Structure 1
Amino acid sequence: MLLSAEHLTKHQNIKCIVKDVSFAIEDKDKIALVGVNGTGKTTLLRMIAGEEKYEEGTMIRKNGLRISYLAQDPVFKEEDTILHQILSMDKEIKEFEAKAILGKLGIYNVDEKVAHLSGGQRKRVALARALLKPCDLLLLDEPTNHLDNQMIEWLENYLQRFSKAVFMVTHDRYFLERVCTKIIEIDRTCLYTYEANYSEFLEAKEQRKEMMMVQDRKRANLLRKELEWMRAGVQARGTKSRDRIERFHKLNEIEDYKESSSVKLDTLTSRLGKKTMEWEHLSKAYKDKVLFHDFSYHLQRNDRIGILGVNGCGKSTLMRILAKEEMPDSGIVEHGETVRIAFFKQGCEEMDFSKTVLDYIKDTSNEIKTMEGSFSASQMLERFLFDKKMQYTPIGRLSGGERRRLYLLKVLISAPNILFLDEPTNDLDIETLQILEDYLDNFNGAIITVSHDRYFLDRICDKMFVFEGNGVIRQYTGGYSALKLEQSYSKEKTEKEKTVRQSIPKMSTKEKQELESMDQKMDDIQNKIQSLDEEMALAGDDFKKIQQLSDTRMNLENELEKLMERWEELSEKKQMIEDMKNK
């Protein structure tokens, strides 16, 4: 056992994060910690890492336990280079290993200073640092954020082969399914452990809910009987009766199981006219790098489009151009008169952390219309799991996931009819994602989304725009899995064609030159034979001369016959090669 926690209790300000919880981490465990935003997942991870204290309980670590921790907001020495920052962690780390993993994560200029990196680059460097540090327990807080799909698939394979224990917080459901063998759910200060991957966890969670509801009904029936006994005024109660009274009070103190509140999304959309959006021959480049060129499309009223590509290829730039927040180098973007775009951006927006949650929403609207009627800003916040107390909390005190949920509410209450979603799944909990996906299913308008969440793309999209390099954006039908299937088929077809091409016989340079020169050679011999025939006709009765000319002619005919045979052989070979190439 690497780590054992018993009866832990932890408060964050006045909020209880966990109360009297126990859990253990075994060698080679691959555990995911899941729960709604704001329940304390990052806090619990920091407690395990030894960066956060707890008020009660014990946490026993194995002697000499080495922990590597990827924090949500990693800290660096700003003036250090990327490579030195990693190599200075541990003497065991080899330079070629560091460069290899950084390359897999899209970081190639290892001599660049950390201070010059973007937020996404910093997170990827921090991930490389965490993976390279020798450890017995690897702690990862949202490791797939800021990774493109190729990087996520690489990380999946890496962690599947990883021989040490992993404890992570992630909302990537395919990642959970393929990497994790145990899931711990944090729910209203309690922890529930499941020996399962994600799909098995969903089944087990439903069974736990049903069991707890059955236990509640049994307890309610028992409590009703005990209450009748208490009211009956039993006389001459002995020791046994006092025990029964204590049992009654204990039963009465147990809280009923209540299903967690979930986000409710049903805001209205604006009417979308016949003309939506059209763009023609869009091109954009930064310096010498062409992001895309000659890209055209007419958006349909209920399009569900996902945009895929490696980090830095221009996905977010394309979204900004389509929203008319940035100009293309060439081409045009036209919006219909009724188009109303809501743009949910990757890094939220600039939030005033001193402003309260309620005031932030009121800045957009104090009355929000939904399918169920009108709601005040306060009522809508409650539907988004911000209770009365939280509504007067400064935004700066919210968790990263809670801020994303608040920002999502602000975007949706503007009654859009076209939604632009740039990495909408970052930092949103699984339950909120499921509600968002249900909302998008019924959204009466077009959706364009950039996302690295493969499950989300499969769930929402019916078309994919894929950046394929050299400025080309190609359109595919279907979601992420359909795209991968088609790409896999294309790859297999290409490999097969390559194998066939490799098996095709080739003409040597000498044979090509020989074939090319044969027509001229045969013409020359034909001309010589014709000249001999003319000489023989003029020779008259000079039989000796005729015999000499005849012998020469016969030799030329033999040579011509051999050339013809060789010509046929090489011509057939050339035709066969061309036929095989054209199959």
Structure 2
Amino acid sequence: MKPFLQGENLSKRWGELLLFENISFTVFEGQKVALIAKNGTGKSTLLDLLAGKESPDEGTITLTNDVRIGYFEQIPALNPNHTVIEEIFETDNEKINAIKAFELALAKNNQEEIAAISSKLDELGAWSIEVEIKQILTQLKVNFLEQKVSQLSGGQKKRLALAKVLINQPDLLILDEPTNHLDLEMIEWLEAYLEKTKSTLLMVTHDRYFLDRVCNEIIEMEDNQIYRYQGNYSYFLEKREERVQMQQATVAKAKNLLRTEIEWMRRMPQARSHKAKYRINAFYDLQDKASHNFRDNKVEMNVQSARLGKKIVELEHVSKSFPGVKLIEDFTYKFQRFEKVGIIGNNGTGKSTFLNLLTQTLTPDTGTIDIGPTIKFGYYRQDGIDFDPKEKVIEAVQKIAEFIHFEDGTKMSATQMLTRFLFPPETQYNYIEKLSGGEQRRLYLCTVLMQNPNFLILDEPTNDLDIITLNVLEDYLKAFAGCVVVVSHDRFFMDKIVDHLFVFEGEGTVSDFPGNYTIYRNKVEEDQEREQAKAKAQNQAQEKVQAKVKTEEKGQGKRKLTFNEKREFEQLEKDIPALEQQKEELEEAMNSGSLPHDELYEKSLELDKIKTLLDEKEMRWLELSELV
């Protein structure tokens, strides 16, 4: 394989903080590589070095001649004075510049230019690229082409920057957390796009389904060493566990041997002649090996929640709109103890509005929201990080409380809490401005839980958290003795945490789906396939009947219904309305918000059976109706 990009003996410091030292690795043509490391170890900085945005303190980076790099950064570098379309087409790619000229000619309806540029596009063979550009812009919902970049929201800028990188079709794509600020449909499209692309890929992401389905190699950066895994995320988990166990066994063996050597060093100082120096040197090497700790630094988040009473949160006929936008209409639901709900839906369908209604930041237009007397919300907002960068880590937590007091009378100090969140005592007095984005999010999560809530509301909690922290957060939430409502585009996270989903479908409709995200997606795909099969069968039935009628008209005339067919037709006219009534009643019960989850699940299975039976009877009715 041809090497595209090579880093040799790379080191980088940020002030006094050593990010990484003396690391080396190569990315080869055609590979799809993910970089995994704990927060604060310099993943984004390393990508900056490889993309030529920064220089290493030591070491060399070699890029193979003529390899074009496309770099998607967490904070996009865009020209605020450009319109979106100007920013998209700011490139030295000849084909894309020709497409830009073609789009401008179309906008002006300049037929002469359209004809001339069409010929050039034929010569360059660029028509397929034009189709792909439109597909990328459509899928990422970049439909604000005449707007100034300076007027865009943070999410719009991220999507624009991603579209710009993909459109340029570089040889090497470097992507830093590409799924942040994308909704679930966009993520699934991007996943499929990157699976098919011929571009070589190097990316940092915490989306584990993404890693599993897109990547064929994983590079792990740990303790200033690089470990390579020739496989996807599932393979990485298996092989990493094997590596850690082997290293732990090596450390255990070294510790046993070290005890013997310590005795020798203590008892026999007279033996330390020139001949024994090799053994003394070996002792210090052994001491270093035995002191190595290969355990994962896990975030211990076993914080107890405040007591939860019988009444949780009850919503009765809640509606909320803004001028020209209906977000929630006539929504009723009673939360039960310890339930965990996921919220999904496209951007702008009312997810954040719903969270703000729950916490009474907003008031409903109609309906009531009744909060139980024991409820204590903990609200992790997507944009809630608001630390003073000159403040110390310990000060940010102590402002909330010096101690957390639990129901059983125990308490935990701010220092203990921070230590459990991977902020050891020596870093607790560092300034917040020195923390990475992921470390700041972890600190923010710590401050939310420090308030000892029993009803957690999490709005995109997984952005910028490393995979190790995510695993522990998931374990914590599964064991959390309270209610959880979470909005997340991380499908793996949702699948592990939630019992059921509130699906925001737009136009004020919110439905309750009994299952996790993957079950929901499978159900949606099955429904789509059923509808397509139904439409196809109906067309075939109509064609079949029409052909039969024509044949009979040519012969003895149109065939009439037999006695049995007539009875069947009459029965179908009774069965179909009855099934439609059952279907309507089931849907109404499932959307009432009053069913327990086991009953909700049973009713969803019953609804599937009724839909299938209804489809069959409708098709048979259609076939017989042609003969009436």
Of 158-167 and 382-391, more deviation after overlay is shown by 382-391
SS across alignment from 1:375: strand
Change (3 A) 1:306 1:235: closer
Give distance in 2, aligned partners of 1:261 and 1:73.
28
Q: Which residue of 1 aligns with 2:377?
A: 341
Quote the offset at 1:185 in angstroms.
1.3
Deviations for 1:423-474, whole angstroms, at most 9, x for unmatched residues?
A: 1111111111111111111111111111111111110111111122332111
Distance change >3 Å, CA 566–CA 483, structure 1 → 2? closer
Question: For the structure 1 residues 242 and 423, does the alpha-carbon distance in structure 2 shift closer, same or farther, using more than 3 Å as the test?
Answer: same
Structure 1 match to 2:587: none
Output one character per residue of 1:381-437: Cα deviation in whole Å (capped at 9) or x when no partner: 111111223222222221111111011011111111111111111111111111111
Structure 1 residues 109-258: aligned runs within 5 Å? 109-227=144-262, 230=265, 232-233=268-269, 237=273, 241-254=276-289, 255-258=291-294
User: In the alignment, what sits opposite 2:83?
Assistant: 81
Whether the 8 Å contact between 1:181 and 1:196 is mirrored in structure 2 is yes
Q: Which of 74, 90, 102 is matched with 2:137 structurally?
A: 102
1:88 shift after superposition: 1.1
Aligned to 2:52: 50
From the superposition, tell whether residues 229 and 575 of structure 1 become closer, same or farther in structure 2 (CA, over 3 Å). Answer: closer
Counterparts in 2 of 1:237 and 1:413: CA distance versus 1, 3 Å? closer
Structure 1 residues 107, 232: closer, same or farther in 2, change over 3 A?
same
Q: For 1:509-528, list aligned pairs within 5 A.
A: none
- Aligned to 2:59, the other structure's residue is in SS state strand
Give the aligned partner of residue 71 of structure 1. Answer: 73
CA deviation vs aligned residue, 1:148-196 (integer Å, no higher than 9, x gap): 1111110010110111211111111111111111111122322221112
The question of whether the paired residues in 2 share the 8 Å contact of 1:90 and 1:133 is answered with no
Residue aligning to 2:397: 361
1: distance between equivalents of 2:353 and 2:86? 32
TM-score normalised by structure 2 residue count:
0.79
Structure 1 pair 256–575 and aligned structure 2 pair: CA distance change class (3 A): closer
Q: Could you say which residue in structure 1 is the equivalent of 2:423?
A: 386
Taking a change above 3 Å as real, the CA distance of residues 366 and 200 of structure 1, as seen in their structure-2 partners, is same
> 2:427 is paired with a residue of what secondary structure?
helix
Within 1, Cα distance between the matches of 2:425 and 2:514? 45
* 1:311 aligns to 2:347 (yes or no): yes
State the partner residue of 2:314: 278
TM-score, scaled relative to structure 1: 0.84
How far apart are the structure 2 equivalents of 1:355 and 1:234? 55
1:420 alignment partner, SS class: strand
Matched-pair contact (CA < 8 Å) for 2:33–2:218: yes
Q: 1:459 aligned to 2:496?
A: yes
Does structure 1 residue 15 correspond to structure 2 residue 21?
A: no
Q: What is the total number of aligned residue pairs between the two structures?
A: 528
CA deviations over 1:347-369 (Å, ceiling 9, x no partner)? 22322222221111111111023
**Take 1:367 and 1:479, find their aligned partners in 2: how far apart are those partners?**
36
- Cα 1:274/1:228, change in 2 over 3 Å: closer
Q: 8 Å contact 2:71–2:174 — kept in the other structure? A: yes
The letter for the 2-side match of 1:178 is R
Q: Residue deviations 1:98-157, cap 9 Å, x none?
A: 443122012212111111111111111111112122322111111111111111110010
What is the 5 A alignment of 1:288-303?
288-303=324-339
- Equivalent position of 1:61 in the other structure: 63
CA separation of 1:235 and 1:186: change in aligned 2, threshold 3 A: closer
Separation in structure 1 between the aligned mates of residue 505 and residue 496 of structure 2, nearest angstrom: 23
- Letter matched to residue 175 of structure 1: F
Q: Distance in 1 between matches of 2:246 and 2:271?
A: 37
* C-alpha contact 1:68 1:138 (8 A) present in aligned 2: yes
Conserved? CA contact 2:349–2:505, under 8 Å: no
CA distance in 1, matches of 2:281, 2:388: 52
1:402 maps to 2:404: no
Distance 2:139 2:173 in 1: 19
Q: Flag the 1:374–1:484 CA change in 2: closer, same or farther, 3 A.
A: same
Q: Answer yes or no: is the 8 Å Cα contact 2:385–2:441 preserved in 1.
A: no
1:419 to 456, 461, 474: 456
Q: Is the 8 A contact 1:458 1:481 kept in 2?
A: yes
Q: Quick one: distance in 2 between partners of 1:372 and 1:250?
A: 48
Summarize deviations over 1:259-296 as a string: whole Å, max 9, x none.
Answer: 13211112221112211111122222332222231111
CA contact (8 A) 2:70 2:170 kept: yes
How far apart, CA to CA, are the structure 1 residues paired with 2:512 and 2:272?
84
Percent identity for Structure 1 against Structure 2: 41
- Kindly provide the amino acid, as one letter, of the partner of residue 163 in structure 1: K
| Offset of residue 21 of structure 1 | 1.4
8 Å contact 2:43–2:204 — kept in the other structure? yes
CA distance in 1, matches of 2:278, 2:339: 66
How much has 1:306 moved relative to structure 2? 0.5
Q: Which moved more, 1:252-261 or 1:3-12?
A: 252-261
Measure the CA separation in 2 of the matches of 1:237 and 1:85.
73
> Who is 1:523 aligned against?
none
- One-letter identity of the residue aligned with 1:303: E
Does the alignment pair 1:496 with 2:533?
A: yes
User: Aligned equivalents of 1:221 and 1:380: distance in 2?
Assistant: 34
Of the three residues 365, 369, 393, the one matched with 1:329 is 365
Q: 8 Å contact 2:35–2:203 — kept in the other structure?
A: yes
Provide the secondary structure at the position in 2 that maps to 1:122.
Answer: helix
Give the secondary structure class of the aligned counterpart of 1:124. Answer: helix
Of the candidates 418, 421, 429, which is equivalent to residue 466 of structure 2? 429
Q: CA deviation at 1:224?
A: 4.5
With over 3 angstroms needed to count, the CA separation of the structure-2 counterparts of 1:123 and 1:227, relative to structure 1, is: same
Q: Distance in 2 between matches of 1:227 and 1:87?
A: 68
CA distance in 1, matches of 2:354, 2:620: 38
